[in-house]
Amino acid sequence: MKKTLYRNLLKELLALGLIVQLSFLSISPYVTAKQTVQDKTDTLQELNLLRGEHFLYVNATKDVTSFHIRYSFPPDYNYQVPIMLEILNDSTADVLNYEIQKDSLEPNNVINFTLGSMQKGDMVFLHFFCWVLVINNNYSDLPEYAKIPKKCELPEETKYWLSSSDMVQTNSILLKIKAYEVKGFTTNLFVLAHKIAFYVKYHKLPFYSLQLALGTLKGQDALTTLFRNGDCPGRSHLSCALFRINNVPARVVMVTRSYPFWYQMHFMVEYYCPNYGWILSEVHNAETPYEPKNQIVMRICSLEDENTTGHDFIFSKMTGVEQWFWIDDNAVKPYYKDLKEGSKLNMFPEKALFTNTTTAFTTINVTETVFSFYQQYLGKNLSEENLNHFRSAVVDQKQAIESFKQSEDPYGYIDYMTLALNEYGEISE
């Protein structure tokens, strides 16, 4: 009896708190962060609904029993909040179960698919959407000047991103010389960021274009990229090296961007600005900062990721690429062909709308809270009654997505997400 009363009270408090945006709700780092413009209730805030679409084909080189595929899933991070995972009915893989799990490095998530047995020569595929809500930041609040920090001035948790790795060789004398050369006499972090982005894209650009045309792209580590230029993984590694050598924490970020073509994965960079936070840069195109609405962040790469890279699936000689999925049976291989057939991905901006800041953060809050319940119960062994509540909540989440796509304000979306929250509140432990 006490448990039921407590659960109902908790449900009511959560629902009420989300509607009026109680300040005690735990939200993403963006909400607790830096931008003073957030406090202006008359400021219009942009919300963006993004859909990542993924095809993953695998084939069996011999008979296999059930196996697992772990695939990166958008984290609740900074300016984005995941809404849900949607597996499409045209998927041919025998999906026995799937969960969204926390990865070893926060805030990363992975989908853990359990797939049924395959016979030698079989090919199956997964087709799924990753739905994400983004509260955009146009970086209009960035100051004109931020001092390049000394190592002793950095928060302890960011110093991890100053380390050397197999892909970001900050101990290299040649990279150190280039890092100091690119920096020059500037003491402004933002000037340094622009200089790094410009250099990384345009140095030896004709040679890169020739390699791309001939399909002869090779290692994507920072040192090799210094001599040959590189694709987006290489440019990201070189950028990180130039930042880290100058005492600026920097890390590789895997994202899905909207392109007019299908691709494997895209790589970008974040660098750390004291008293502001992590700033996203599209170094592949020499653009910094880069607004969050333009991509879905899939994974923050760790030093372990930098030390355990694989090869590109299209350019066979291109190595040094961080991985975004892992298959636990060596007899099951991913199938890539030409990014028209076979495995591929893309991102599609579904809808952008503007609302007042209070409503925008209410929308983010309810999304984050609903997703935390969705993640908690997805793939779990629920009783029939609890499973019905879970399924009803998922239907409400899908209705919320459709409402957002068809509206010029987020109120219908909030209503449906609140209904989903109520359904999750009915699930008994």
Q: Which CATH architecture has domain 48-137+325-348?
A: Sandwich (2.60)
CATH class entry, domain 151-290:
alpha beta
Residue type for position 63:
D
Residues 5-57: pLDDT tens digits?
334 434 444 444 444 443 333 333 333 333 333 344 458 999 999 999 999 99
The three-class DSSP label of residue 255 is strand
List the domain boundaries for the chain. 2-46+357-425, 48-137+325-348, 151-290
pTM for this one? 0.90
Peptide linkage before 29 cis (omega within 30 of 0) = no
Stretches in the chain below the pLDDT threshold 50: 1-41
CA–CA separation, 54 and 115 (whole Å): 17
CA–CA separation, 380 and 382 (whole Å): 6
- Give the model's pLDDT for residue 42: 59
